Amino acid sequence: MIELFKRQIVKCRTPNEINRLHIALENRITPLEFAALSKIISGGCSSTQNVTWLEKLSRQLSISHKPQPERYIRTRIKPNIYLYSDQTPRSDKVLAICFTGGARRLLMPTPTFLQHLSASRVDVIFLARHHNWNYNNGLGGVADSFETLVNAIEQVIKPWTYKSAVTYGTSGGGLPALLTAIYLGLDRGIAIGGASVESDRWRFLKGTVRFQQAVKRYNGKPKLVSVFGADFKRDAMAAAELRRYFATEFWAIPGESRHGAIQKYLRSGELCNFLSTALFG
């Protein structure tokens, strides 16, 4: 990604082109890569727009109160599926399978999210959904339906041995994250502002054999958590509608009336604690 930046920044002719490059980087890079980019920008690409972007993202990472970047390395597993890991043994780690929303991120830039985890304790799989591709239609280059996407994820993680495996999804990735945890018998599923199972996009699930069997078998495991702004009715209603089928714990964030409610934890410096509680229990 460093070389991509070097190649592309010299081709950018307008502020909009530079902004698109910044967004593309935010959706993919690791904290280590951001540290390297910071040196490049400070050393020779210090346009006002680059510096402003650098300072904004630096502030977000610094909220973690960590002196060094988390040592994640990105590996492409399949098209639009990436593993972020420090490449140390897996047996004592949690695997977090993350379903991004339409913006191809987890309600925040990827290096911000990763910096608020511990690379020595958590490996992360990112499913990078395109804005015009919904998980009910699978994932580009991997699967053409939600059912086949779940099967593809199972095949990816099957050879790996982790202490536990959880799913984590935001916005359009929230409901698929919870259902994947149920279907694959994982340890936990966390949805941040997830969609409703009664929505036009997902209502078809109720007629599938896999969903119906999962409803019959569900005994409280895996643990399911729906996180939403306490004052944002749409997300609260979506969580309640899923609870009709699966016992889901509600984490309503007080005073939040917007879709990206966990931004409150980033702003307040509580995101590390929130993610630790969500992923480890």
Percent of the chain with pLDDT over 70: 98
CA 170 to chain centroid, in Å, comes to: 6
Name the residue among 178, 259, 264 with its Cα closest to residue 226.
178
pLDDT in tens, 31-88: 999 999 888 887 766 678 888 999 999 999 999 999 999 999 999 999 999 999 999 9
Residue 103 confidence (pLDDT): 82
pLDDT surpasses 90 at 134: no
d(CA 68, CA 71): 9
Residue 131 confidence (pLDDT): 64
Query: 12 pLDDT band (50/70/90 cuts)?
Result: confident
Average of per-residue pLDDT values in the chain: 93
pLDDT surpasses 70 at 8: yes
Residue 42 confidence (pLDDT): 77
pTM of the predicted structure, to 2 decimals: 0.94
The helix (run of H) or strand (run of E) holding residue 197 is none
Query: 132 pLDDT band (50/70/90 cuts)?
Result: low
Residue 9 confidence (pLDDT): 79
CA 233 to chain centroid, in Å, comes to: 22
Residue 69 confidence (pLDDT): 97
pLDDT surpasses 80 at 133: no
The SS3 assignment for 203 reads helix
Residue 176 confidence (pLDDT): 96
pLDDT in tens, 205-260: 999 999 999 999 999 999 999 999 999 999 999 999 999 999 999 999 999 999 98
Quick check: 228 and 193 in contact, CB under 8 A? yes
